[in-house]
Amino acid sequence: MFGNLFEEEEEEGFSPGPSTGRVAKGPEEPPPPRGRSHLSGIKNQGGTCYLNSLLQTLLFTPEFREELFRLGPEELGRLEDKDIPEAKVRVIPLELQRLFARLLLVDQQSASTADLTDSFGWNNSEETNQHDVQELNRILFSALEHSLVGTSGSTLIHRLYHGTTVNSIVCKECGNVSQRQEDFLDLTVCVCGVCSLEGALWDMFMAEELFEGSNLYRCAQCDRLVTAAKSTKLRKLPPFMTMSLLRFSFDFAKCERYKETGRYTFPLTINLRPFCEQTDGDDSEYSYELFSVIIHKGGCYGGHYHVYIRDIDQLGQWEPPEEDSKPKTQKKVKEVNVCETELEEDDPLSVLTAIIAQETSKSVLLDQLGQKLMDKIGSSWSKKFRKHYGPIGKFLQSHNDVFILVSNGTRVALKASPPSPTTEPPSPAEQTTSSDPSPDLNPGTAKTQPEPEPEPEGSHWFDLNDSTVHSIRESDIEKQFQGKESAYMLFYRKAQLHRPSEALKNPLYEVPRHLVQMAQEENGRLQHRREEFEATNNSVELHLHLAPSYRLENGALQPISKEQDGVTTLNFDRRKTVGDLRLAIYQMQELWEGDMALTVAKSLPAGLHLYNTLTDDNVSLYSAGIYTNSDLFVWNGREVCGATILTGAEWEPVLLNVVRPFLGDDGDIGVENGVGDKEEEEGGGGVENGGPGLTREARGFAGGATLGEVKEALGEPQESLLCQEHGGGKKGGEGGGASGWKLFPPEDMQRTLRELALKDGDALLVLEPQSFDSSVFSLSGDVVTVTTPSDCRWLQVEFRPHHGGGGGGEGEEEEERRKAKVPASGNMLLCEVKRRAIEELQLQQQLTGVECCLRQVDRTGKLLPPVCEEQSVREAGVRLMTNLTLCPGSAPKASQLFLHFSVSKAPSAGLEMDIIVAQTCTVKECLKAMLDAVGLEGTSWHLRRLDWCEEVGEPLMDEDASLSELKISHGETLVVTEGQLPPKGFLKLSVWLYLDPSNNSTVSMETDFNHSDECSSTGQRPGVMPAVGTNVDLRTVGHVEISDDATLEDLKTQVMTLPSLQCVCVPTPAFLRVWQTEGQRLARVLRGQQLTLRKLKLTSGTELCVQQLPKEEDLGPKEVLLRVQMGVPGERCYYPPEEVVWDATRDSSPRSLRTALAAHYGLSPDSLLLAKRQPDNHTWDTVSNWNQQVSKRKKKKKTESLLGAPFHLKDGDTIGIKNLLIDSNRDFCTLEDEQVQQRLREQAEQRRKGGQAAGSDGPQGPGPEKKAGKTKSRKPEVPLSINVGVFR
């Protein structure tokens, strides 16, 4: 009835599959074994939850299962022969047998229905489209009946599910009774207007329908219209009674489907005697017990199925659920537990750790973790933690030092306490993989388990939800009486049906021998795959460091030889014990003598350090905390090369930079004890010209050593001073300078390096008292200042006589360019640097009477503004050991600015002019100086800055403001622009005219569906640009300058005064529409005649487009101007577009738009299908016909607005319309759309391969390929069918 309306909804949680971030090392991860319930679920193929629920119900119907198993290959054939044409192989029952055998005997978390659905003849769409389970129940039974024709099971469905009703009409005149019998496999009972199953059955079988008044009955015996009464009774009761609840109805007033979510009760046991025709039998003949409830969660357009089943044969291991039935509002009883004493509910790490630690197995199924979290803190992960910590799966991965995935990735445990093998639940694999030819496949007798809390006899209920199976209580069924998640189908079995004792807890009961053998083989293969995978997944790579290859140096272990680092790589199974590892190393090192200790090591900057020694040979590497890439040190446990080794975190070595004074004798920048160029740049490292300097040496010390022991290890006398680098001191850097060091007080000599918070890379200055006699070191209190020799460095100066671009050839220019290295310091004035450079270059005579300056050069070789020669090297920000250029020109003073400027247009590279003005100079004075420099006169000039894209930008409005007040910086470029300065608050706007392709005065709004080829082939006129997404042109008509306090009406009036628009007749401003354009695209209509341009958020430089209208227009704030196109029936094209104004003030839902367009065209809203066109990629997004459904947890129904995501309807958008009464084609794309889409795909493929994008001659041209906005539209309804062969 409802086709495939029930699309699958993803439930919030943490998927147990390997895609959650657990990457298997092996080629393919085997399926996980069964869970604690010992029952197997069924995999969802995308939308087959309805099929899974029905199949589980049939599996747990023992009589159906056993009748199916009794059909042997001699009746059904063999699957191996199904491809032989003359062989009659009944594939559907054979595949159903195999599936049931796998669900009973194969040790896997879930079985696949792929083979079964293939036997149905279903394709991928059938497997991903969800259908109605009530419809499937009838179709599957019909397919089985046709498949079993001619076999002993031909009456299987009829014997178990077939019942009859009798309709009786009694004539009130003569008493004649007319009866008609009807067959049924399931009873469809009403939900609407009824509060219980008993009430619905009473209305069906007890209430009489009277034929009276104008609705009389023609009696065959009286041969005339008479008063009569009609009633229905149950004549034959089947062993299994199926009740289909009519929860989905149609509201003819609103013309929409809806789901009945009101309370509807049903009993666990029911007596049908009152509804039967014959009532003289024993009570047991009329009594039925509920054993399956198929549940639908969601609305009438989307949802999910799962099933509650009573395990009649007790094949599963029932355990009491962990407080599943506790209301969330109930106050949780805090148990006295170590894990809960300090639980912080705002800390997800603390909460998840406590949840896992409380489990008896010390692990939790991943798909149950979200529910347990909600039970723990009363809130879901998404609501409480997702915003700050992301999805729960990523949180577990990011804390892999705390959590670990076990059981092939289906469970999460704590690394500190991994699940013990004895607490893992037994599985059928432990029996089916036995070498015994007749194994006991009963999972319930595999291992001795602690006795769970007993459940009342016959009340083993489970929730089978696709791949997962959970225990539930019988009282949980009452939760499915009402709501979005409620019962949809009920399955009852006669109470007089009893099961033999040998069937209880025996999944092998009545299973054919060949299917048992098949299950054994599959279990063997699964076990082999799991062992291979576990061996691969548990293999760790260990780095063994052998003691004979190391020596103790600087507080850490160092390799004796740099060529041989003494590291041996060993791959080992982490499930084995430390004793096994020790034995393996003994076998590798045949020459090893004496004891062998294995100690966890770690490579630190100072060297290798040892931590804890593995002493217990019986513990596994996993439990010992040994993981892949772990470092182990192999030694005798006492000494290395005669030196005693201190182990543990408290003795972790620290690598310090020991700094000492150094007096060099040569003129080079010396490097001592490994001090490199990096140290030189940091202000120490060496000297030049024989000056004093500092040397650095990296030394490691044990973290537990005292500062006094460090001094002794350095060989320093007792009176030496130790200093730590002072964070607040000035460091020598780019321009040289001094660094500050803090003196350690005498009491710190007894403190350890760890207590002093010294870490790797910290510097330690060692000074003797006489060091302060040098000018390099000075002591003030406890702070030592070191004046480093970085002030004795150099600057390279290059002479460029023609920096402006003229001059001779390249040879002459190279000859004129000369370089000199000038000694300089950070405190030297730049005027002194220039003087020395002129002397070094011998330019005294050449530059006599000529002003020159020093300029820095950027990475592209462009000259930067001249530096102020009154400043020092450090103050000017000039880095030592860099280049300066000596150029003709004046250098600015400290109070002046060096500016570039050009006249009338943005300057080209190298063509701008330079000027030096005072920082206190006003804009007017600066403009006059620039005009004087180029010989211009007059007052019709003003200054503008350049914008971020190096184009002429905003004018400097305040002519009396100083340059410093306007934050004009050194080296900035200004443009001298002709024209009077616009008044303050005025905007300069570019105006375009919207042209009609036929050159009429009226401007049209046609889209590019019509005449697009003509527009793309016509020539481009000067001053005309094509509007993106339309087939009309925009012609520039000039600029207007208007105050931002002016209204939109004033703007329209001023636009109409432009000379280019004198030919356009507009009676009033209301006949003119103003568009704001963005990137050559019409973006929005400016509305509100009396709104100011400031409120409309217009800025100077905004581009506007004006359009002439045939009538007055005044759009409201939420009225949307749409281009609407009606599809031509039977063709892939559209009628010319029309403009429609849609009022979305009160309702912006799809229903409102559909109603407005239906009124515009005089059609019924139900017959219209709408779609929005995406002009960038020529696709259409179908507008959903119905309001979206929301989850059960949300309190309010979310209304879908077309003004928001994902449609974002705005002015100018194109809406396509299909009239479904006369047009069955639901595809909105035209042939041109497909051509452009193909061209865009080819361009994207070329860009992906690194090639050049091919040129496009379509209306859009080559452009970026954007992803079309996704709208969750429902799939079309398709009938459900199962293909069956002919076996008659």
The DSSP secondary structure of 932-977, one letter per residue, reads HHHT---S-EEEEEE-TTSSEEEE---TTSBTTTTTPPTT-EEEEE
Residue 1032 has pLDDT above 60, yes or no: no
Contacts of 256 (CB under 8 A, 6+ apart): 250, 1186
Query: Strand 550-553 vs strand 783-787: parallel, antiparallel, or unpaired?
Result: unpaired
* Tokens encoding 579: 């004793």
Inter-CA distances, 421 with 363, 447, 489, 984, Å: 12, 12, 40, 82
Mean pLDDT value of segment 1262-1278: 46
pLDDT value at residue 1269: 42
Do 113 and 103 touch, CB atoms closer than 8 A?
no
Give rounded-to-5 percent helix, strand, coil for the chain: 25, 30, 50
The beta strands (E) that lie in 1069-1183 are given as 1072-1078, 1081-1085, 1103-1108, 1119-1126, 1138-1143, 1168-1174, 1179-1182
Compute the distance between CA of residue 772 and CA of residue 1159 in angstroms, rounded to an integer.
97
Write the DSSP symbol of residue 64.
Answer: H
Q: State the angle between helix axes of 513-537 and 91-105 in degrees (0 to 180), rounded to the nearest 10.
A: 50
Mean pLDDT value of segment 703-718: 87
The chain-wide mean pLDDT, for the chain, equals: 78
User: H or E stretch including 702?
Assistant: strand 692-702
pLDDT value at residue 329: 41
* Tokens encoding 128: 């991903």
Contacts of 806 (CB under 8 A, 6+ apart): none
Compute the distance between CA of residue 883 and CA of residue 1085 in angstroms, rounded to an integer.
56
Global confidence as pTM: 0.48
Alpha helices, DSSP H, located in 758-865: 810-816, 830-841
Judged on CB neighbours under 10 Å (0-12, 13-18, 19+), 1170 is buried
Angle at 404 between CA 398 and CA 409, to 5 degrees: 105
Q: Provide the pLDDT confidence category of residue 453 given band limits of 50, 70 and 90.
A: low
Which of 472-476, 511-515, 1043-1047, 1265-1269 bottoms out in mean pLDDT, i.e. has the lowest?
Answer: 1265-1269
Higher pLDDT, 1285 or 465: 465
Contacts of 293 (CB under 8 A, 6+ apart): 307, 308, 309, 477, 480, 487, 489, 490, 491
pLDDT value at residue 1022: 41
* Tokens encoding 1192: 């059960």
Residue 770 has pLDDT above 80, yes or no: no
Compute the distance between CA of residue 127 and CA of residue 1115 in angstroms, rounded to an integer.
49
Q: Is the peptide bond before 1276 cis (omega within 30 degrees of 0)?
A: no
User: What is the phi/psi pair of residue 763, to 5°?
Assistant: -100, 145
* Tokens encoding 1245: 């493929």
Which of 76-90, 327-341, 673-687 bottoms out in mean pLDDT, i.e. has the lowest?
Answer: 673-687
Compute the distance between CA of residue 549 and CA of residue 557 in angstroms, rounded to an integer.
10
Compute the distance between CA of residue 145 and CA of residue 157 in angstroms, rounded to an integer.
7
Mean pLDDT value of segment 155-165: 94
Inter-CA distances, 229 with 178, 730, 1016, 1280, Å: 10, 108, 77, 38
Q: Provide the pLDDT confidence category of residue 1 given band limits of 50, 70 and 90.
A: very low
Mean pLDDT value of segment 530-537: 83
pLDDT value at residue 344: 64
Write the DSSP symbol of residue 474.
Answer: G
Q: Which of 15, 28, 494 is nearest to 290 (CA)?
A: 494
Contacts of 861 (CB under 8 A, 6+ apart): none
Inter-CA distances, 1164 with 960, 1167, 1219, 1221, Å: 68, 6, 9, 9
Compute the distance between CA of residue 41 and CA of residue 462 in angstroms, rounded to an integer.
11
Mean pLDDT value of segment 625-649: 88
pLDDT value at residue 789: 54
Mean pLDDT value of segment 453-465: 72
Compute the distance between CA of residue 407 and CA of residue 384 in angstroms, rounded to an integer.
28
Mean pLDDT value of segment 1065-1078: 86
Mean pLDDT value of segment 1147-1157: 88
Compute the distance between CA of residue 710 and CA of residue 520 in angstroms, rounded to an integer.
70
pLDDT digits (tens, 9 = 90+) for 130-150: 788 888 999 999 999 999 998
pLDDT value at residue 311: 93
Judged on CB neighbours under 10 Å (0-12, 13-18, 19+), 834 is buried
Query: Strand 228-236 vs strand 1119-1126: parallel, antiparallel, or unpaired?
Result: unpaired
Do 1021 and 1070 touch, CB atoms closer than 8 A?
no
Q: State the angle between helix axes of 91-105 and 49-59 in degrees (0 to 180), rounded to the nearest 10.
A: 80
Q: Which of 411, 450, 410, 447 is nearest to 430 (CA)?
A: 447
Compute the distance between CA of residue 846 and CA of residue 850 in angstroms, rounded to an integer.
8
Compute the distance between CA of residue 49 and CA of residue 63 in angstroms, rounded to an integer.
24
* Tokens encoding 36: 């604690």
Cα 852 to the chain's mean position, in Å? 60
- Where in the sequence numbering do the catalytic residues fall? 49, 304
pLDDT value at residue 464: 94
User: H or E stretch including 353?
Assistant: helix 348-358
Residue 27 has pLDDT above 70, yes or no: no
- Backbone CA torsion sign across 59, 61, 66, 72: negative
Compute the distance between CA of residue 724 and CA of residue 155 in angstroms, rounded to an integer.
95
Higher pLDDT, 112 or 401: 112
Half-sphere exposure of 718 (CA within 13 A, CB side): 0
Mean pLDDT value of segment 1233-1240: 88
Compute the distance between CA of residue 1006 and CA of residue 1212 in angstroms, rounded to an integer.
10
Do 291 and 307 touch, CB atoms closer than 8 A?
no
Which of 321-335, 700-714, 885-899, 1069-1083 bottoms out in mean pLDDT, i.e. has the lowest?
Answer: 321-335
Do 121 and 1265 touch, CB atoms closer than 8 A?
no
Residue percentage of the chain with pLDDT more than 70: 78
Query: How many other CB atoms sit within 10 Å of the CB of residue 25?
Result: 11
Q: Which of 867, 874, 832, 870 is nearest to 730 (CA)?
A: 874
* Tokens encoding 538: 């548990």
Which of 295-299, 459-463, 995-999, 1043-1047 bottoms out in mean pLDDT, i.e. has the lowest?
Answer: 995-999
Compute the distance between CA of residue 971 and CA of residue 973 in angstroms, rounded to an integer.
7
pLDDT value at residue 1217: 93
Q: Which of 1110, 1001, 1018, 1118 is nearest to 1062 (CA)?
A: 1001
Compute the distance between CA of residue 1279 and CA of residue 181 in angstroms, rounded to an integer.
29
Residue 434 has pLDDT above 80, yes or no: no
Residue type, position 193, single letter: G
Q: Which of 31, 725, 699 is nearest to 408 (CA)?
A: 31
